[in-house]
Amino acid sequence: MNKLLVKAIDRHEYISFDIFDTLLLRTVKNNSDVFYLTGKKVLGDDRAEEFRRERIEFEKLAREHSSSGEITLDDIYNEIKINKHISEENKNLLLLAEQSIEYENLMPREQVINYYNYSIQQNKKVLLISDMYLSSNFIMQVLHKNQIIGFEKLYISCEYGCNKRTGQLFKLVFKDQRIKKKELLHIGDSIKTDILGAIKAGNDFFWIPKQKKKVIVGDI
C-alpha cells in the first residue's frame, strides 16, 4: 500500500471515494462498449454500433437541455425516445438492458478496495461521491454485489443537481456532514472531477491514476 495515502487517511476523519474507475471498474475495454452491448442485446448485431453512437449523442443532448447539466439515465432515454421516435416499451427495454449490462460488467478495483477497507477498519467516516447519471438505488445494488459496504452515505450528482467538477457537490457534502473542508480527504482517478473539483471546493485529495483495463468481454 502507498505509505503517503495511508498517512493521509490516518490524518483525516472523513474519507470519500469516487466510484466509477476508482472503486469499480468496467470489464469492457471502453466504457462506451456498454452501449454497444445494450444495442446488440435489444436491437441486434446490425444496430449495435449505431446505437453506441446514438447513446453518446443523446447523452450530450440531454445535458444541453438540463438547466444544471446533471441528468439521469431516464433523461437520456427520453431524448432517444423523442428523437428516434421509439415506443415507450422499446425505450424501457433499452434502459433496463443498459443497467443489466452495467451490473454484470462492474467489478472491484482491488488496489483501491484495500484503501477503502483500511479506512473502514480505522473507523473513518467513509463517503462515496460520484458524478453519474445512474441512480443511487442501482449503484447501491452494484456496491452490495461487490461487497463494498460500511460507508456512511452515497452522493450521486444527478440526484443533487450539482457535481464534483465544479466543486459544488463537495461543498454540499461539507454542509450535509457539518464538517470543515479540510476534514475531508477525497480519493479518485479523474483529474478534472476528483482533483480539480476538490481544489475548487478546498478539501484535501489524493489522485490514483486510472488502471489499464483487462478486457473480459470478448465479443465486441
**Within this chain, do residues 79 and 120 fall inside the same structural domain, yes or no?**
no
Residue-level pLDDT at 211: 84
Residue-level pLDDT at 173: 98
Print the domain residue range for 202: 3-27+107-207
**Within this chain, do residues 98 and 141 fall inside the same structural domain, yes or no?**
no
**Within this chain, do residues 112 and 196 fall inside the same structural domain, yes or no?**
yes
**Within this chain, do residues 41 and 147 fall inside the same structural domain, yes or no?**
no
- Identify the segments of the chain with pLDDT beneath 50: 215-218, 220
Q: 71, 104, 137 — which closes off a domain?
A: 104
Burial (CB < 10 A; 0-12, 13-18, 19+), residue 67, is exposed
The answer to whether residues 107 and 27 touch, using CB atoms and an 8 Å cutoff, is yes
**Within this chain, do residues 142 and 47 fall inside the same structural domain, yes or no?**
no
The answer to whether residues 23 and 15 touch, using CB atoms and an 8 Å cutoff, is no
**Within this chain, do residues 98 and 111 fall inside the same structural domain, yes or no?**
no
Residue-level pLDDT at 59: 97
* Strand, helix or coil for residue 2: coil
Rounded CA-CA distance 104/37 in Å is 11
The answer to whether residues 49 and 39 touch, using CB atoms and an 8 Å cutoff, is yes
**Within this chain, do residues 7 and 48 fall inside the same structural domain, yes or no?**
no
Return the C-alpha cell found at 129.
Answer: 461521491
**Within this chain, do residues 21 and 37 fall inside the same structural domain, yes or no?**
no
Phi, psi of 199 (to 5 degrees): -60, -45
**Within this chain, do residues 55 and 117 fall inside the same structural domain, yes or no?**
no
Residue-level pLDDT at 218: 44
Within 13 A of 86's CA, how many CA atoms are on the CB side?
18
Residue-level pLDDT at 217: 46
Spell out where the chain has E strands.
14-17, 24-26, 106-108, 125-130, 153-156, 184-188, 204-207
Burial (CB < 10 A; 0-12, 13-18, 19+), residue 69, is middle
Q: What is the DSSP string of 162-219?
A: --TTTTHHHHHHHHHHT--GGGEEEEES-IIIIIHHHHHHT-EEEE-PPPPP------
Residue-level pLDDT at 216: 46
The answer to whether residues 150 and 119 touch, using CB atoms and an 8 Å cutoff, is no
Return the C-alpha cell found at 95.
Answer: 434502459
**Within this chain, do residues 112 and 202 fall inside the same structural domain, yes or no?**
yes
**Within this chain, do residues 37 and 114 fall inside the same structural domain, yes or no?**
no
Q: 72, 104, 136 — which closes off a domain?
A: 104
| Number of domains making up the chain | 2
**Within this chain, do residues 129 and 37 fall inside the same structural domain, yes or no?**
no
